[in-house]
Amino acid sequence: MRKTALLLIFTLLLTGCSFSVSTANITDAGMTTNMVEGTPVDTVTQYKGNADAFYAYGILNNAPDDTTIRFVWKYVTEPQIIDEVSFNSEGQTDIYVYSTLTMDGMWPVGDYSVEIYIDERKDPESVVDFSIVE
């Protein structure tokens, strides 16, 4: 078994295949009305349409240096991506990471979500649903 695993790794390296294994993950994701000193002040699932900003957050755990975090904001009621925000963890881990979404004017009433991705993973680490109410 051990020989097979070593042979597989050696073959992948020789053929130019690349892969990465990261233990980075996101826990305790949610929405808040504000972040103060890097910490959410509350947890909400609904906002008014005239809200100044939406904050999505989560705790980044076990992140190696240069971990990329990506927030994808979506309007679910009429399926569309509103915005994508990416940034580098800069070697920080076990901290809150967050993204803010703002707009001048009123937000459409309906259902929204934020997907939080780590590095180039195809599946989100966390999905946070929220809604805009009248």
User: Residue 109 is encoded by which pair of tokens?
Assistant: 């009433």
Domains of the chain, residue spans? 22-133
Class of domain 22-133: mainly beta
pTM summary value: 0.82
Residue 85 in contact with residue 40, Cβ under 8 Å?
no
Sign of torsion over alpha carbons 19, 127, 38, 51: positive
CB 68, CB 37: distance < 8 Å? no
Taking only the tens of pLDDT, the chain with its 134 residues reads: 544 433 333 333 444 443 445 789 999 999 999 999 999 999 999 999 999 999 999 999 999 998 999 999 999 999 999 999 999 999 899 999 999 999 888 999 999 999 999 999 999 999 999 999 98
Q: Taking a C-beta distance cutoff of 8 angstroms, is the pair 121, 89 a contact?
A: no
What is d(CA 114, CA 29) in angstroms, rounded to the nearest whole number? Answer: 10
